[in-house]
Amino acid sequence: MTPEDLVLTPRGLRFKGRYFPVAVGRGGLSTAKREGDGATPCGIHHIVHTLYRPDRLARPAPWATPIRPGDLWSDDPSDPEYNRPIRAPHRFGHESLRRPDPLYDIVLVTDWNSPIATLGRGSAIFLHIWRKKCHPTEGCIALRRDHLLWAAARIAPGTRLFVPAPSSV
């Protein structure tokens, strides 16, 4: 591991010599992630994309893509587009990326269960803004807004995210 890696530790998310408090999934950390279990999957993941709300903040990184009205993410294992960004209208289960709350004002997308999704293994794992301090997520990793913006400005495509097994955190 290097200072350029994001590493989940008992002190929080370590990146570039700093530690940021985080919230993880309500199901804790898991080595056997399943759709809907609320767990954050263990392993080495990569940041593959940054999304942001251009109506709420400036582009956080040169490679960031705006979240537009109608942008969704498929979280339905029966959907042929499972675990992919999609557009509304969409007849399968999905999550809106353009939320009324600020949670997805900035989103770092990991390569969890991607690019070829295994059905039921769990859809997207994002790094996003937390609801409130250490409030559990549905499986994502959440940070305070200013911490996530600081990290997003310094992350490059392919940055590694280490989520160690529960016994080692």
> Taking residues 128-143, what's their average pLDDT?
96
Which pLDDT score, from 0 to 100, does residue 166 have? 82
Which pLDDT score, from 0 to 100, does residue 167 have? 72
Which pLDDT score, from 0 to 100, does residue 152 have? 98
Amino acid residing at 6: L
Is the predicted pLDDT of residue 90 greater than 90, yes or no? Answer: yes
What's the pLDDT tens digit per position in 6-42?
A: 999 999 999 999 999 999 999 999 999 999 999 999 9
What ranges in 25-155 are assigned the alpha helix state H?
Answer: 145-152
Which pLDDT score, from 0 to 100, does residue 120 have? 84
CA atoms within 13 A on the CB side of 143: 24
Question: Integer distance in angstroms from the first to the last C-alpha of the chain?
Answer: 15
Homologous superfamily (CATH) for 6-168: L,D-transpeptidase catalytic domain-like (2.40.440.10)
Residue 119's pLDDT band, with cuts at 50, 70 and 90, is confident
Cβ pair 128, 103 in contact under 8 A: yes
Which pLDDT score, from 0 to 100, does residue 134 have? 85
Per-domain boundaries in the chain: 6-168
Cβ pair 93, 75 in contact under 8 A: yes
Q: Name the DSSP class of 152.
A: H
CA 124 to chain centre: 7
